[in-house]
Every structure is written in structure tokens, then in C-alpha cells.
Amino acid sequence: MKTITAIFLLISCGTLLAQEETKSPLGYWYGQLELMGTTHELLLLVSPEFHAKNNKPLKNKYVVELLNQEDSSSFPFKVQPVNISAKQFEFGIKDLNLKYSGAPDSQFQRVEGTFEQSGFNAPLVFGRTRFAVKSIERPQTPMPPFSYHHREVVIPHIKENFQLAGTLTLPADTTKPFPVVIMASGSGAQDRDEEIMGHRPFWVIADYLAKNGIASLRFDDRGVGKSGGVFSQASLIGFSKDVESVLEFVKNQPTLSDQEIGVLGHSEGAMHAWILVNRRSDVDFIISLAGPAISGRKIIEQQQYDIALLKSESAAIWTRDLFRGVMDIISNAANSSTTQKDLDKFIKKHHKTASKEIQDANPLDLLLQRVPSMFNTSWGREFIAWSPENYLPNYQGRVLFIIGDRDLQVHPELNIQGFQKLTEKYEPLQAKAIRFENLNHLLQTCKKCSIEEYGELVETISPLVLDEIVTFLQSK
């Protein structure tokens, strides 16, 4: 699911150039930033600041640039303020609400300090040479040789003039009946593996399904990887049309058309599946992994509250009220231009009610930029208005609903209760809901169970979840 608390990752790599003399901060500095279990290489260039009129270097005044190592070009961020001396090494990027504060050694060969951004802190060390790149341990990522069949496919879109690209995975034995699972990814631009922080959950699922006699088709989102189309222009309904295009493709494959065919949706992907079955009666099953069973409005409101609650109750209440107000404006607005003005006015007013600590973690400029761009769109308006009540009544297939009890992005208690009420009311052919203990939104076995921990965990998806999916599919 989308969250406004996303951290902006500064990723760079590059070439080693000659260093300046010792006991001077001038020259190149290399760093490695650990964020959410992923390592990002940084390259800084410290140069003297020159007088505006006579072009002479100013004493103890420096300019810092954040560089791309591939071509030594500068990233378009103004690094300011800069404060470098024998005892401190500090710089900031106001546009990103980022700052670094460290202390250099006596020879200006190493700086140890802290990276800070929007309330997030992480240790960060800079040195004069590149650090060794750390490997990421992901033991569940499939490795050849494979005991099943897989091939690239190109899928024509049923409504728009572009094609989707994906991977069709088939079990070793295709002479007997087998289910076919279409995978629908969650919010944000995702590739066919739904890769996040080195994890590839959809590939792990496809591998496990194939080893258990089940076929699958996973695809790059529109505008991602090898798929055509433009991701930013799509609405919630548009994404469901993408899934429908894949369904139509599967139905037209001679080896697949007579099989049981359904959709596995993770997070928002489950919403795409529900929208789809409101139009199509030929979807045999739905598997919802950490998907919502309450309205989109309630999902956003509770999500923002739960994430902010990790900091404090006051931050949680303030954040919840912020998004309540934003969604009220969007739901009641006549047009997007009027909405934008009203959103700006409300966000500025609400920001003034926050404590300094909350304001520092939620810079006004970033809120004005990111909140409207997320929700004052076709996708945002449809997401807020979405309700399972509009789709589930028409579905008579099998449903498996899985959620982790430590999910911060789709509240486990509210959503499993919502699903149970819906299925009792509308009675699909077969409905099963499972809440797994100590699993997060990615269905990993978690410890801290924060969003930042996703990349730190070695496990991509709990084997218990994989087993439950297979059991469900084989239980027809």
C-alpha cells in the first residue's frame, strides 16, 4: 500500500579519482548508507567556496556536491547548509529534509556520523576509498536448475494500445489438470517479481507453486520493465483492466483455457481482483494476500495512524486527522484544480497545529508536494471511494484471505473482521480467512515488524503462507 512516510533513497556509484592532501576535507568521499536492509553507495565531492567578486577561495568555506559515480555528474540537489571544520562535518539538502552530522578524524580520512531524514536516523561513515559492496542474503530466491517450465510472454492489452510483458511458469507435468494463478501486485510501480529491497516474493511464490503442480503468470506493471503503457496515468480501474488483459491471454492459451484460473493479489492487487470479478464471471478463485476488506478510506486512515503510532500517540492522532481532512476535501471536490487549492490551504493550517517534533518529521514543503500528488488523482479518488461492498456481492467463486497480525499497512483485525462479515452476508462458494502470527505486510516473519525492517529480514515470505496457498488450490 502507498504510504506518505516513504524514505527517499539516495543511490549513487562511481569512479575513484585522485585525493587531496591529508588534513584537508577537499576531494572525494565515499559512503555506504544502510536503509531497510539495503546498502546504497554515496559519493561526495568537497570543493572550496570562492568569493563572488574576486573568485578567490574563502578560508574554511566549502561546497559539497552529491555525485553519480558512473559519469561524475552532480545530482540536482542543492547541498546547503555546509559546515566543515577540524571537529565537524555537516551538510544538508533542504529539498529532501535531509541532513548529515559527523566528526572527522585528525587526518581527514574518515568521518563518522548520522544520516537524518524526516525523523529517520541511520549511522553513516564516509571514507576516502570505496567500501566493499555487501551481499544481500535472500535464500528463498529461486536458483537454477529449475524442475519446471517457464517462458517469457507478451500480452496484448484489451483496451489500450500497449502490451504487457510477463513470465508464464508451468509445472513439469502438464498432462493432468492444474490451477493457473495470475498474480496482481500491490501499490506502486512493480516488476513481475514484485521486487522490494532485494526480495522477490512473486518469483518465490511462482517457484513454489510450480514445484507443487500449479501454473502461474506474473507480469510487469504497465510502464515497468518490459511492459508498455504509462504507470502514472492509470487509475484503480485501469490496473484491474491490466489484470483482465492477462486473464484474457490465459483463456486464449490452448493448454490453459480449460484449467481452473484465478487471481492472487497482494495488498492493492487484491482490490484489482475484486474489481475484475465484478465484470467477469469466469474467475474461479481469488487469493488475497494482505489485501483490504474494508473501504479504501478506512485503509488509508488506519494505515497512517498505525505507522505514526510507532513514534507517538500524538503523532498518530495528528497524522490520522491530516489524512481524514485530505480525503474529505477530495471526496467532496467538484474538480481537481479547486481541490488543489483547498488541499494546500488545509495542509498549511493543519501543519501549524503540530508540535515541533512532528513538524520536523513532516516538513510542510514535502507534505504540500506529496500528499496532493498521491491522492488528487484518478487513482487516489478511486482508492478512497473503493469498497468491497460494491464488488463481493456478485462473486460466487472460492476465496482465500490471508493477513499477518503485525501488518502496519492493512490493519489485521479490522480487515479480517470485514472479510468475515462480507462472506457471511454474501456466501461465496468457499471462503477461508487466516491471520498468521508475527507476519508483516509482506508476510515475512518479523521481529520489530516495522516497514524499515522489510529489507533487514532474510525471509522473503513465510513458508506457512506458501503451504496454505497450495493447500487451498489443491482442495477443490
Task: Determine the 3-state secondary structure of 253 from DSSP.
Answer: coil
For 116, phi then psi, to 5°, come to: -130, 135
Specify the pLDDT at position 428. 72
Contact 266, 289 (CB under 8 A): yes
Give the orientation angle of helix 313-332 with respect to helix 336-352, to 10 degrees: 160
Contact 314, 321 (CB under 8 A): no
Query: How confident is the model over 292-306, as a mean pLDDT?
Result: 95
Query: How confident is the model over 238-251, as a mean pLDDT?
Result: 98
Q: By mean pLDDT, which of 35-44, 199-208, 211-220 is the weakest?
A: 35-44
Q: By mean pLDDT, which of 27-36, 84-93, 235-244, 307-316 is the weakest?
A: 27-36
The conformation of residue 69, written as its DSSP 8-state character, comes to B
Q: By mean pLDDT, which of 8-22, 144-158, 176-190, 342-356 is the weakest?
A: 8-22
Q: By mean pLDDT, which of 78-92, 118-132, 219-233, 339-353 is the weakest?
A: 118-132
Specify the pLDDT at position 391. 84
pTM over 0.85? The answer is: no
Specify the pLDDT at position 439. 98
Confidence class for position 335, pLDDT limits 50, 70, 90: low
In degrees, to the nearest 5, what angle opens at C-alpha 395 toward C-alphas 394 and 396?
125
Alpha-carbon span 182 to 425, nearest angstrom: 27
Confidence class for position 5, pLDDT limits 50, 70, 90: very low
Specify the pLDDT at position 36. 65
Alpha-carbon span 448 to 455, nearest angstrom: 12
154, pLDDT greater than 70: yes
301, pLDDT greater than 60: yes
Specify the pLDDT at position 74. 74
Closest CA to 465 of 270, 205, 180: 205
Most confidently modeled range among 7-11, 269-273, 356-360: 269-273
Specify the pLDDT at position 334. 66
Beta-bridge partner residues of 216: 169, 181
Alpha-carbon span 295 to 304, nearest angstrom: 14
7, pLDDT greater than 70: no
Residue whose C-alpha cell is 493479489: 265
The pairing of strands 215-219 and 98-104 is unpaired
Confidence class for position 221, pLDDT limits 50, 70, 90: very high
Task: For residue 221, count other CB atoms closer than 10 A to its CB.
Answer: 23
Alpha-carbon span 130 to 273, nearest angstrom: 46
Confidence class for position 252, pLDDT limits 50, 70, 90: very high
Beta-bridge partner residues of 151: 168
6, pLDDT greater than 60: no
Confidence class for position 248, pLDDT limits 50, 70, 90: very high
Contact 84, 25 (CB under 8 A): yes
Mean pLDDT of the chain: 89
Alpha-carbon span 287 to 285, nearest angstrom: 7
- The predicted-structure confidence for 97-146, as pLDDT tens digits, reads as follows 788 999 999 999 999 999 988 667 889 999 998 887 666 789 999 999 99
The conformation of residue 393, written as its DSSP 8-state character, comes to G
Q: Which amino acid is at 155?
A: I
